[in-house]
């Protein structure tokens, strides 16, 4: 496959083995990949562990759009961003992990902004269940919560 690869193209391989051919300029929007390319420790195929094909495809879509749209109006890009990040909970948080792991700053910023918009109206209890559900019991029985309870009304 790499023999037929055009110049300035890279192959990204997801954790579940799917391969994506992307222009180098798009791939290096991930700082992690950029460092690998610059250090020349990357062969034509770059493994992207921890990121499955589904999520990797989304990240590539985002980077392609941002690469193409330098000439486009900033407001168009903003519209694209807000539509792009507006997706199901699982995908949203998986994308954050991927963007953080691959160091794609613009994507991470847009995603974190979206999470902030989503949670700003939520109750503290809802937040605990959503983000700390696995340790809910420990939190609710902690001295910290006991102190808050004693100090003032518990919401």
Partner 1 sequence: MASSSTPQRRRLTLTSAEKVAADDNLLKQIFIRLPPKPLFSFKTVSERWFNLISDPYVVGDWIPPNSPSSFYFRRYSSPFSPDIEFNHISVNGIVNSSVPVSLNLFDEPDGVKILQSCNGLLLISSSWPSADSVHTRYYVLNATTKKYSMIPRPNNGDNRNFLVSMNLAFDPAISLHYKVVAFRSRKWNSPNFRIAIYYSETQTWVFSEKSFTLSENIVVDNGVFLNGKIHWPRCYSKESTCYDVNRDEFLPLPMPSCLKKVPVFFGECGGHLRLIECYKRCGRRFDVLELENDYSEWVVKYRVDLQMGVSAFPEMIRPCPGRFPTYGVDVLCFLGSEVGGDLCLMLYIPFKVICYNFKDRSFRKVCDLKLLPADVGNIQFCRFLAIYPCMETIFDV
Q: Which residues are near partner 1 by CB under 8 A?
A: 75, 78, 89-94, 96-97, 100, 108-109, 112-113, 115-116, 119-122, 124, 127-140, 142, 144-145, 148, 155
The least CB distance from residue 114 to partner 1, in Å, is: 9
Nearer to partner 1, 40 or 155 (CB): 155
CB 142 → partner 1: shortest distance, Å?
6
Helices (H) and strands (E) in the chain, counts: 9, 3
Q: How far is the CB of 115 from partner 1 (least distance, A)?
A: 5
Q: Least distance in Å: CB of 125 to partner 1? A: 9
Smallest separation, CB 133 to partner 1 (Å): 3
- Residue 132 CB coordination number (10 Å): 12
Cβ-based nearer residue to partner 1, 4 or 75:
75
- For the chain, what is the largest distance between any 2 Cα atoms, rounded to a whole number of angstroms? 69
Other C-beta atoms closer than 10 Å to the C-beta of 119 total 12
- 35 or 79, CB closer to partner 1? 79
Annotate 87-154 with three-state secondary structure: CCHHHHHHHHHHHHHHCCHHHHHHHHHHHHHHHCCCCHHHHHHHHHHHHHHHHHCCHHHHHHHHHCCC
Cβ closest to partner 1, residue 5 vs residue 139: 139
Q: Residue 42 or residue 110: which is nearer to partner 1 going by CB?
A: 110
Gap between the Cα atoms of 76 and 81, Å rounded? 9
């Amino acid at each position: 496959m790499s023999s037929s690869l055009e110049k300035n193209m890279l192959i990204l391989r997801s954790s579940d083995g799917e391969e994506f051919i992307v222009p180098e300029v798009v791939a290096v929007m991930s700082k992690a990949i950029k460092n690998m390319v610059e250090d020349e420790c990357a062969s034509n195929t770059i493994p992207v562990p921890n990121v499955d094909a589904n999520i990797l495809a989304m990240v590539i879509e985002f980077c392609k759009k941002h690469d193409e749209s330098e000439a486009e109006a900033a407001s168009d890009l903003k519209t694209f961003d807000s539509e792009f990040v507006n997706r199901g909970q699982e995908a949203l948080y998986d994308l954050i992990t991927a963007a953080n792991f691959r160091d794609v700053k613009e994507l991470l910023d847009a995603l974190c902004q979206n999470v902030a918009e989503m949670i700003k109206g939520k109750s503290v209890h809802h937040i605990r269940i959503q983000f700390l559900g696995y340790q809910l019991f420990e939190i609710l029985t902690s001295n910290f919560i006991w102190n808050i309870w004693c100090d003032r009304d518990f919401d």
